Chains A and B, each alone.
Chain A
Amino acid sequence: MSITSIEAIERSNGMGQAVLKEADAKIVALPAAKAQVVSLPQAAGKPLMARILPWLRPILQNVVPPLITVALILLFWQIAASGPQSSLPPPTKIWDEAKDLITEPFYWAGTQDIGLGWRILVSLQRVAIGFGLAAIAGVLVGALIGQSIWAMRGLDPVFQVLRTVPPLAWLPLSLAAFRDSQPSAIFVIFITAIWPVIINTAVGIRNIPQDYRNVAQVLRLNQVEFFFKIMVPSAAPYIFTGLRIGVGLSWLAIVAAEMLTGGVGIGFFIWDAWNSSRLSDIIVALIYIGVVGFILDRLVAFIGTVVTRGTVVN
């Protein structure tokens, strides 16, 4: 008891933050040790803790709960998948089998034997092209539909039907048209992501307050000036909602499209792993896809808040 307490004091003085995190992580694994570990550093290293706690606390409050959740999931998974008849590998087995995929995302050993990071980048490149085109075309077409009542009457019913077509249903047509897997995959991304962009942009533009239109009329802004100075900033919150949905759908579609088109990419990697029964690799790839999708979503949301600064509160 006395020895552990001295150790705790020394460690907390040296690097308080790390110790506290470690202590919290321990709580999950060893509930019995809780009282011991948490109470001791507080009592002993007060001046340092008092200085660190104010900014450490909010970080811990946000970091600890998801860590606990992940730990519980892993624990449950480990127990559930450890039986002799289990068809799926437990976390420990995944770590043994697919450690290299996790620890070395960017290794390069020949054209097909490359790290998951590279494959993700290849997929991201396809998404960037397809989604970028969808964003530009979607905002322009959405602006047209939002501005013109006749464009809306003519195009909206067609779009409402087309947008319900699942992404992969476009792939055969796309392959027939482009005769190559790369542009076909990009086209599938494009056609998947464009609908929410169009529809949200159109709604945003239909919702431009009459006051802003009056201001534009009094100033005699021309179409181009109106587009850039009133329409885009006014509809920006809606446009970014559409872009955010669009990027999410793109990421969903690319994996499916790559499974079918082959080549390099995270989708094909999963298909390949399935064909050679490397379940652990598939699970690691899933985690990669989830994390990247999350980052993409947050990235678009972040750009949105930067661009629309000040418009949310009128």
Chain B
Amino acid sequence: MSYLKIDHVDKSFQRGAATTEVLKDINLVIDKGEYVSIIGHSGCGKSTLLNIIAGLTPVSKGAVLLEDKEVSEPGPERAVVFQNHSLLPWLSVYDNVALAVNKVFGRTKSRAERHDWIMHNLDLVQMGHASDKRPAEISGGMKQRVGIARGLSMQPKILLLDEPFGALDALTRAHLQDSVMQIHAALGNTMIMITHDVDEAVLLSDRIVMMTNGPSARIGEVLQVDLARPRKRLELVSDRSYIAAREAVLKFLYERHRFVEAA
């Protein structure tokens, strides 16, 4: 049985009389516990695909099935870590996570259990020390950590990450990638990540979904990354299968599906 199934999904946007087809015939099956990256040039519709899985954007044709149930609206079982963290600036770090925890577990967990769960998730991303800070008082990397903690705290079936490290500097990004790998190893979450960074995709993923350029973007290739976990970025630099995987993605992106407008 497939865990998440994206079944013949088309998506087109209509503006007045003009129709733009963004995604065309997307088929993808994702297993439980898998880490899947979706990579492609900007504008190819990968964020649209993530929003469809999240339920934030309705499909035009086809369906998304999670455990054989059709996804039609957003919900906490498909938590999203947004590109720009999307923390609520008037709430403290703790309260941002608490908003999610109280909503999802308000009936099933006691007050003390919820508090412990909030702190547990903040500690998981090493943000327990800053629980009473407001988003404006912490750095971009820390905000994204809190965003991940909020996503994890909903105990989602799938965690959707929309270019989670896109706005961060290289060093902070590496730290956060390591954190996400540790969390994935410890919790075994199913994760789908949008990225435009080849190294990031190869380092983190079990499979890399490569998308062709839009309009009417399709899944061009799916690459299996057979690297043993835990993965260490320094050891991988000279690893042959790592280099091969990296080369395959680069060739797809820059040889066969060059970004036309940027060329």
Contact = CB atoms under 8 A, between A and B. Distances in A.
A215 B75 contact: no
Contacts of A209: 86
Interface residues of B, number: 25
Contacts, number: 61
A214 B82 contact: yes
A105 to B, nearest CB: 40
A217 interface: yes
B134 interface: yes
Interface stretch (A106-114, A292-300, A305-313): A305-313
A233 B88 contact: yes
Interface in A255-314: 308-311, 313-314
Max chain B C-beta neighbours (<10 A), residue from A214, A233, A313: A214
Given A212-B88, A214-B86, A233-B90, A220 B56 contact: no
B12 interface: no
B103 A215 contact: no
A214 B100 CA distance: 13
A219 B97 CA distance: 11
Interface in B221-257: none
A229 B136 CA distance: 18
Contact of A314 (B74, B78, B89, B100): B89
A212 B90 CA distance: 12
A180 interface: no
A218 interface: yes
A230 interface: yes
Contacts of A96: none
Contact of B86 (A212, A309, A311, A313): A212
Max chain B C-beta neighbours (<10 A), residue from A211, A219, A230, A311: A219
Contact of A218 (B79, B84, B88): B79
Interface in A196-214: 209, 211-212, 214
A219 B90 contact: no
A234 B90 CA distance: 8
Contacts of B76: 218-220
Contacts of B73: 217
Nearest to B54: A218
Nearest to A214: B56
A225 interface: yes
Contacts of A221: 103
B84 A308 contact: no
Which 8 A-B residue pairings sit nearest by Cβ, starting from the closest? A211-B86, A217-B74, A233-B90, A311-B90, A218-B74, A313-B136, A310-B134, A219-B103
Interface of A: 209, 211-212, 214-215, 217-221, 225, 229-230, 233-234, 236, 308-311, 313-314
25 contacts: A209-B86, A211-B82, A211-B84, A211-B86, A212-B88, A214-B82, A215-B82, A218-B54, A218-B56, A218-B74, A218-B80, A219-B76, A219-B99, A219-B100, A219-B103, A220-B75, A220-B103, A225-B103, A229-B88, A230-B88, A309-B90, A310-B89, A310-B136, A314-B89, A314-B136
